[in-house]
Structure 1
Amino acid sequence: MFTTAWTASPQSPSTGFTPNWSQEGFWRQSLRQVVRLSAGGVRVRIRLSNAYGTSPLRIAGATLARTAACVGAGAAVLAEPVRLAFDGAASVEIPARGESVGDAAEFAVAAGESVTVTLHLDAVTGPATFHAQAFATSYRGAGDLLADTGGAGFDEVSESWYFLTAVDVSAGRTDGVALFGDSITDGFGSTPGANRRWSDALAARTGRPVLNAGIGGNLLLNDSAWYGEKGVHRLERDVLSLAGVDTLVVLLGLNDIGFSEGAAEPTYRPAPLVEAGELVAGHRELIRQARRRGLRVVGATLLPFAGSDHWGERAAKVSHEFNEWVRRSGEYDAVVDLHRALADPVAPDALRGVYDFGDHLHPNDAGYQVMAEAVGVVL
């Protein structure tokens, strides 16, 4: 019996927030990616996605290894990588819009341990299904580097994940927690490479598998080329299909009301004017979907954001109305008031300075720790 120990929600190829390889794709290259697991086990399997591919994706080979955690290690791994298989074969072809779940490999891991997955892509992939904001380094090098241990051949870096959407372990646990949201859940503002997202902090605090289903810029009610499919559509794929999840925490809607307030945002224009009732209807749909699958659903109030580029008179009004619904409606199984937990005591519509990454919208490492502590109380 498997439990999902790590996940990244897939996105369509795009320019994204930082330079990435999604639009150019890969050819005759190896791709090495490092992920941190929130559960341990004695067997491991990976999930690969071609959700946004328009042609079959060939994976010529894949390996799994223990990450070399020392400073400056780069793409190095601690020992010879273990070869992975797909239905008993060393390679796999994933159809356009499809996914592949690899065979389980004998590989003992502990909760909190990082593992390195390497893919050899010997044929032209075309634009790559990816996750834009990894806040971790991925590596690319020419040729077949599946067995490479030192990492010297990986001479290009990116801060996105590609094709890899989940790692499952043989934990047999059914107490996983999935966090569903936007860039705040994704970890924007946390220290890159340090695993300081609030999902990381919550896993450490609770000892439970915690899965991050955030996408930077994501909206509850509308699709975006950069920011992923709307939340009410992607919940099934990005959360409900995962193994061993029994609790969903929802923190989503700030972009729906905030994108219309900022300066020209070429990646999402025109931005509709969303009312609180529309956000409520979207959240009710998430609750319905999750409960049909037997999940406990926790609702979070939107964080304070006064002074940010999402702030304005209209956004303030809608956020206040929506947060009051979360607090008082009783429609969620439990509520965590993140607005109050992170608010400035003097100016409660603003993030407290010690928790502010600097844009008045995203928390820093300390803010994410507070979020994890607040959520941990209601789990």
Structure 2
Amino acid sequence: MRVLHAIRTPWAPYSLMFANDGTRLAVGGGAWYGEGGISLARLDSGEVAVTPMGPQRGYGPPSVAGVYFSADDRYLVAVTRGSSLGPGPTILFAVDGLSIGRAAAFEPAGQRRMGDPCATGAMMAGESTIVRHWASSVEQCIAVRRFSPRFACRADDRRHHLTHSRVVVRRGRALTGGGGSLALAEWRADSGLRESGRAAEGLISAPLAGEGPCETIPIEGCPRVTAIAALPGEDGFLTGGLRGELDRWSWAETLRQERLAVPGAPLANIEPALPTTPKVQEAVAALAWATYTRDSVVAICTLHDETRWVSVDAGGRLRLWQGAQQLGAWTLPAPGTPRSLAAHPSEPWIAVGIKQGGFGHPSSLVLVLEL
């Protein structure tokens, strides 16, 4: 493994996606108090353009929780959340090189209170944009948006597996893990708010067409799903858990779960982390374990060869797999806690977004690595 690019942005990197033509990388991010934006990086020159979100209608600048390119790379969908995990708009940006311009948006309704559904991920399937929500009831965990047909904005569904979107689409349904912040669970119970996924300890399944109820799918031996990603093809997908569980899912007559990694399994770290200062370590520890544990799987994606896949945990450990076999494991060569992952469409490259700053002043390092 070697580092090809190290990209700095002024906020935590919640979402990554390579352009379908392989020339650019989109990074969306922000902070607890919003103040996020989108960076576009050109991979051949290393040039980076940062676009702050700026204040939205009725509230301040939001965080960008998910980014997703259209099939022709003319558009970039961005889902956002407001300050203190409030709701934010879903925005369609027109893309020209490293420049983006707002083309359309779905604005949240109501007063945008903390505890209302807020975005944590996004993907496109066909002409639909699927938004994954957090801090909501089971029925509100998935929302489906469709922009005007005049934009001709459509996804390349064959590349769904390249990007960790926190949601997958299988057999006409959107699947995601329930769950939310460990630190906020007690506060939500005291305030009477229901934490997302508390009624669904496993997976949440919602119909894309909007017809029929949401369903819950139990997962054996996994108290909370923290990552989900598609496998190449029509049906298969992978999930990661709070304690480091990894499962592969497939359909026979029913949906079948296969455990690939169990909590506490040893890792063969073949590259050490770079030295860190006590101050950085303290800030990282305070951030990382509010939502995850050190072993929690935070992101998964499949490489362009469609045979190998990668998982990364909150403690900064990257694992390379082929089927059910682990090929190697590394500690990432930078301090911090990973938050996002994406694979290049034609090269053996991955991008990992690493949150490094403190609670009020997050910073971001995105590493583009060759495997």
Does TM, scored on the shorter chain, surpass 0.5?
A: no
More helix by share: 1
TM-score (structure 1 length as normaliser): 0.29
Q: Larger relative contact order (C-alpha < 8 A, sep ≥ 6)?
A: 1
